[in-house]
Amino acid sequence: MSRRSQIILFFLSFTLALAVGGFVYAAETEVQPANRFYFINLDQSTIAKGYTVSAFDQAIKLFLAPGRLSQPTGLDAVEINETVDSPWQLERISKVYQFEFRNKAAYDRTKPFYLELAYDKSSDYYKQIFYYDKNYTAWRPLPTVDYPAKSFARASIHLPFARVAVFANPEALVRGQASWYAHKGGLFAASPDFPQGSKLRVYNLANNKFVDVIVNDFGPNRQLHPNRVIDLDKQAFKKLASLAAGMIKVRVEPLKIVSKNNKILGLDQSGVKSELQISAKAAVVMDEQTGKILWQKNATSTLPLASLTKLVAMKVFLDTRPTLSRPVVYSVQDEEHNYEYVNKWESARLKLEDGDMVTVENLFYAALVGSANNAIETLARVSGSDRADFILKMNQTVAGWGASSTHFIEPTGLSPENVSSAFDYAIITKEVYTNPIIQKASVMPRYKFTTINTKKAHTINNTDKLLQANRLNITGSKTGYLDEAQYCLMARAKNNSGRQVIVVTMGAPNRQESFNQTEQLLKYGLKMIKYD
């Protein structure tokens, strides 16, 4: 059939639908090869008694109860088979559909109706129906109930027009195994995905028994137990199975999800977009294995890099093959170099007194775990080179790696004249992390030691929030801050097959955004290499 004949047939069908009074008449045709079209006329008697619109082999249904429409209207539906931008964080598991009431006055939006969409891809992750909001150019979630046994999801909606689809969220596993633990003795659960305070309904897939629990703890560790959805307090577990079972297969249905950092399951509820939204001045995502840039923003712009400098300093120091157990006498003169750039109270420092004796290892971990500026200067002093030669070696080293926009005038990052680009620093990261000691130090949550001569105990905590209860397998990280640089962060993470991505963000407006945006970029990068 020619395109002209198809169009004529469509309008004839539409005219016939309007002419038939007292009946519901549906016409389905294909106007263009990519999409399928459906039309139905809902007359007065039909809307009075209620009607379920079902199109495209029941893939989309609209449940219009009595009173939902006040006037007769035509309703158009489209199965969209052309390319549609989808949120990068989510996996679309259904086709995209669109519906519209032709008579907008027939629906006043005060009484929601139900929308049902079939999905054709199975997923063990949390599913929701989203609609595309043109005002925000984003996909927004609808209150959804999943029916996995029947492969459809149902949502409440109050729009006379919408483009909709079912998406699965890889931030929340809802089907898999559950074990039990003894803690507070109530209807509680530990979840690695749903924030504390969330309410979940947990079904035993073997007998369909369910229990409602409140999340009050974090766990199990998804990296160690990839198929574990949740752990139940033993009182809750006993509602589903005998404790002797130890492990059962479950399905989790969220009843209430608490927001965290103004997001629900990692998604901004104002909408999720197909493109990354990064406010940092510069950023890059690199596939470490291939060196391929997966995403970038102003990646070659030269900017102050703050304490990201320290990784290069420590790589140059380790290249001298030092004995980590070697005792070193601390000199307060070392930290005087720091005060050329900042006031004493502004500098992150290891609190040592003149003459304190520590090991090279103590100083090294203080420099990377706690970003102690004075520790860097002491290590530069005992490296075997004078300070100027040490800084020269830092510049020569990165130039040899191809980081042509990078330059250092001191070894700590306190000077805003220490500069690099996000792209350069990704190259630097790849080279620096060939050293296993640096790998270990930069992901260490805390480091403890005691001075040799005074026996004074020191505990140094890593302030990088990415290392705290994060589902990502972080294999390297370093923070940095100066007024001139704002917040800088490098992070490195690997997937289950051991493949790594490197993310560098420079000039983020605040610390929390630095962490949030870097985390988003890591997830984006890991997703990209998954399908490479």
User: Per the domain annotation, does 93 fall within a domain?
Assistant: yes
User: Per the domain annotation, does 272 fall within a domain?
Assistant: no
pLDDT tens-digit map of 461-501 = 998 888 875 678 999 999 999 999 999 999 999 998 899 99
Distance of alpha carbon 359 from alpha carbon 327, whole angstroms: 4
pLDDT given at position 470? 66
User: Which domain range does residue 119 map to?
Assistant: 3-170
- Examine the domain organization and report whether 368 and 453 are in the same domain: yes
- Examine the domain organization and report whether 347 and 208 are in the same domain: no
- Examine the domain organization and report whether 195 and 145 are in the same domain: no
pLDDT mean across residues, the chain = 91
Question: What's the angle, vertex CA 305, arms to CA 437 and CA 409, rounded to 5?
Answer: 90
CATH of the domain at 253: 2.40.40.10
- Examine the domain organization and report whether 236 and 298 are in the same domain: no
C-alpha distance from residue 450 to each of 30, 207, 315, 453 (Å): 77, 57, 24, 9
User: Per the domain annotation, does 274 fall within a domain?
Assistant: no
Q: Are 207 and 249 in contact (CB under 8 A)?
A: no
Distance of alpha carbon 177 from alpha carbon 27, whole angstroms: 46
| DSSP per-residue letters across 307-361 | GGHHHHHHHHHHTT---TT-EEE--THHHHTGGGTS-GGGS------TT-EEEHH
- Examine the domain organization and report whether 34 and 151 are in the same domain: yes
Q: Are 276 and 520 in contact (CB under 8 A)?
A: yes
Strands 188-190 and 210-217: parallel
Q: Are 175 and 124 in contact (CB under 8 A)?
A: yes
Non-local CB neighbours of 523 within 8 Å, separated by 6+ positions = 89, 266, 472
Q: What is the torsional sign of CA 183, 189, 193, 197?
A: negative
Domain boundary among the residues 170, 191, 221 is at: 170
pLDDT given at position 29? 52
pLDDT given at position 33? 56
- Examine the domain organization and report whether 256 and 293 are in the same domain: no
- Examine the domain organization and report whether 150 and 226 are in the same domain: no
- Examine the domain organization and report whether 178 and 166 are in the same domain: no
Find, among 469, 480, 488, the residue nearest to 412 by Cα: 480
pLDDT given at position 456? 96
pLDDT given at position 21? 37
Round to the nearest angstrom and report the end-to-end CA distance of the chain: 40
Distance of alpha carbon 334 from alpha carbon 341, whole angstroms: 14
C-alpha distance from residue 314 to each of 188, 310, 516 (Å): 46, 6, 27
CATH of the domain at 453: 3.40.710.10
Domain boundary among the residues 266, 294, 319 is at: 266
Residue 289 in tokens: 């294995």
Amino acid at 462: N
- Number of domains the chain is built from: 3
Distance of alpha carbon 117 from alpha carbon 57, whole angstroms: 11
Q: Please identify every stretch of the chain with a pLDDT value under 50, giving residue numbers as ranges.
A: 1-26, 30-31
Distance of alpha carbon 252 from alpha carbon 236, whole angstroms: 13
- Examine the domain organization and report whether 202 and 86 are in the same domain: no
User: Per the domain annotation, does 416 fall within a domain?
Assistant: yes
Long-range pairs of 379-383 with CB within 8 A, sequence gap ≥ 24: 379/313, 379/314, 379/317, 380/313, 380/317, 380/411, 381/331, 381/334, 382/322, 382/328, 383/316, 383/317, 383/320, 383/322
pLDDT given at position 260? 82
Residue 61 DSSP label:
E
Find, among 501, 470, 474, 507, the residue nearest to 488 by Cα: 507
- Examine the domain organization and report whether 119 and 192 are in the same domain: no
Instruction: List, in sequence order, every beta strand (DSSP E) within 86-198.
Output: 91-92, 96-101, 113-118, 125-133, 138-141, 144-147, 152-157, 161-173, 175-181, 188-190
Amino acid at 373: N
- Examine the domain organization and report whether 306 and 340 are in the same domain: yes
